[in-house]
Chains A and B, each alone.
Chain A
Amino acid sequence: EVQLVESGGGLVQPGGSLRLSCAASGFTLSSYEMNWVRQAPGKGLEWVSYISRSGGTKYYADSVKGRFTISRDNAKNSLYLQMNSLRAEDTAVYYCARDGGRGGYDSLDYWGQGTLVTVSS
């Protein structure tokens, strides 16, 4: 069974940093591109970042470019999101989501339960 379990969320002050993790199981992480998607309280879904299977290609939403860094450790079956210079508007539930793996870019076929990040003083 495919499982994605996020961790690392919490309360952080504006300007602070946080590192989210996503533990993958039930599939071979190295065979799939991965993404982070967030959802602010009461708002819609916002795609945040993408990483290719090897980690050699990364994309970011303009809203987080230069502040967030996506990475992965296939040997540890883990995906990460390093978030720096956090702002109040980064407050959201952060989901890791698996690319469908059908070649090229794909839809997101499995999602974790999410981890809440709250940026507030």
Chain B
Amino acid sequence: DIQMTQSPSSLSASVGDRVTITCRASQGINNFLAWYQQKPGKVPKLLIYTASTLHSGVPSRFSGSGSGTDFTLTISSLQPEDVATYYCQKYNSAPFTFGPGTKVDIK
């Protein structure tokens, strides 16, 4: 099975900072990669699908890129409401594995 890794596991940044999270698949998954945001105590929400397509209603400060094995989620200007754990997920084929998550908080 394809394994998903994320880095860093956690980060702390200041409001307005540019934040980048990396997700890596152990084998190529084309662009079948999604990003989710889970705020503390809340349900996960879809942010990005097909590696770079913003889901409806998601602020434009979020963006995604990558294809094959290496993917990136970028928050162009970190806001207080972006404090959350971010997960990537592959969906090219089963099992639809999630990455371990990256916890983002405000410095």
Residues on the A chain within 8 Å of B34, using CB: 107-108
Which stretch, B10-18, B44-52, B70-78, touches the partner chain A? B44-52
B101 and A108 form a contact (CB under 8 A): no
Q: Is B65 an interface residue when CB atoms closer than 8 A count as contact?
A: no
Distance (whole angstroms) from the CB of A41 to the closest CB of chain B: 12
Task: Using CB atoms and an 8 Å cutoff, list the residues of chain B in contact with chain A.
Answer: 1, 32, 34, 36, 38, 43-46, 49-50, 55, 85, 87, 89, 91-101
8 interchain pairs (CB within 8 A)?
A: A44-B100, A45-B36, A45-B87, A47-B95, A105-B91, A105-B93, A108-B36, A108-B44
Any B CB within 8 A of the CB of A78:
no
* Smallest Cβ-Cβ distance to B1: which chain A residue: A62
Q: Size class of A's contact patch?
A: 20 to 34
Q: How far is the CB of B97 from chain A (nearest CB, A)?
A: 6
Residues of A within 8 A of B (CB): 35, 37, 44-47, 50, 59, 61-62, 95, 100, 105-109, 111-114
Closest B-chain residue to A112, C-beta based?
Answer: B43
Chain A hits for B96, CB < 8 A: 35, 47, 50, 59, 105
- B46 touches which of A46, A47, A108 (Cβ 8 Å): A108
**Is the CB–CB distance between A44 and B98 below 8 Å?**
yes
B98 adjacent to A111 (CB under 8 Å): no
Q: Which of chain A's residues have a CB closer than 8 A to the CB of B93?
A: 105
What residues on B are CB-neighbors of A114 within 8 Å?
43
Question: Closest residue of chain B to A65, judged by CB?
Answer: B95
Report which of B44, B45, B91, B95 forms a contact with A106, defined as CB distance below 8 A: B91
